[in-house]
Amino acid sequence: MTAKRVFIVEDEANTRAFLSMVVAEHPKLELLTAQGSLSAARAALRRYTTADVFLVDLGLPDGNGIDFIRDIRRKHAHVPVMVLSVFGDERSVVDAIACGAGGYIHKDGALKEIGRHIEEVLSGDSPISPSVARHILTRMQQQSSPEKPSDTTLTQRELDVLNILSRGFSREEASEHLKISRHTITTHIKSIYRKLNVHSCTEALFEASQLGLINNRSSHT
């Protein structure tokens, strides 16, 4: 069986050398090229057009590996891509997968298993580190949660209350800051809960943040 050609993008020299060694010694894989920056990877992408799989780091010295994944998708739409990165935050994970990564391995995992993971992504599987999988499950659960009521339009005063609470103020402090009674603050909060279909202040602040209702607005007081 013809060995599968692996295109590596990894900025850390020792890690790049280790990955190259693992691939070169694997009986079913062949090292096509190993690059250490976004610009070098892009130049190599123009030069090497026969890669069977890409192994891409995200934190590159001159850019983000996600930009390179987009380049791959434009030129080699069906070639599998696997991310190998120290970045394990939700945004990096979701953005990489949305751009076409078929696997995502966190560097805290066992790098010696990388040959097996490359085989998995080549066979159509999606090797994903447990810590990364949690972000994906969380995002899926959010997207599949019960539909929110159609009436999610908050009044300006309700937005004011949300923004005050998001800054860590108590209801009493919010009352003093907005110069309205504590009872009125409570009424606004109940209305917010109903409109956002939540049951606590923490849930309300999270949902409002997801909807862009806080952090991008300021109180009128």
pLDDT of 140 higher than 60 = no
Average pLDDT value for residue range 188-217: 76
Among 62, 66, 55, smallest CA distance to 31 is for 55
Q: How far apart are CA 127 and CA 122, in angstroms?
A: 10
Integer CA distances (angstroms), 92 to 7, 28, 147, 176, 206, in order = 21, 30, 26, 40, 19
- Taking alpha carbons only, the member of 128, 137, 181 closest to residue 157 is 181
Given a cut of 90, whether residue 5 has pLDDT beyond it is: yes
Please report which confidence band the pLDDT of residue 221 belongs to, taking 50, 70 and 90 as the band edges.
Answer: very low
Q: Which residues, including other chains, have CB under 8 Å from residue 128's CB and lie 6 or more apart?
A: 103, 104, 105, 136
Record the tokens describing residue 49, joined without a space: 């057009």
What is the CB-side half-sphere exposure of residue 209 using CA atoms within 13 A? 10
Query: What band does 141 get if pLDDT is binned at 50, 70 and 90?
Result: low
Section 113-121 average pLDDT:
89
Tell me the DSSP string of 108-120.
TS-GGGHHHHHHH
Calpha distance 3→29 (Å, rounded) = 5
- What gap in Å lies between CA 153 and CA 211, rounded to an integer? 11
Rg (CA), the chain: 24
Q: Does residue 206 carry a pLDDT above 80?
A: no
State pLDDT tens for residues 8-45. Answer: 999 999 999 999 999 999 999 999 999 999 999 999 99
* Structure tokens that stand for 141 in this block: 């659960």
Q: Please say whether the beta carbons of 57 and 82 come within 8 A.
A: no
- Domains of the chain with bracketed CATH: 4-143 (3.40.50.2300), 156-210 (1.10.10.10)
pTM above 0.75, yes or no: no
- Rounded to whole angstroms, the Cα distance separating 206 from 212 reads 10
Long-range pairs, 129-137, Cβ under 8 A, ≥24: 129/88, 129/104, 129/105, 131/88, 131/106, 132/88, 132/93, 132/104, 132/105, 132/106, 135/88, 135/89, 135/90, 135/93, 135/94, 136/93, 136/94, 136/97
Nearest-angstrom CA–CA distance, 60 and 42? 12
Positive/negative CA dihedral, 162, 167, 173, 176: negative
pLDDT tens for 78-107 read 899 999 988 767 778 878 888 888 888 888
Is 139 a residue whose pLDDT tops 80?
A: no
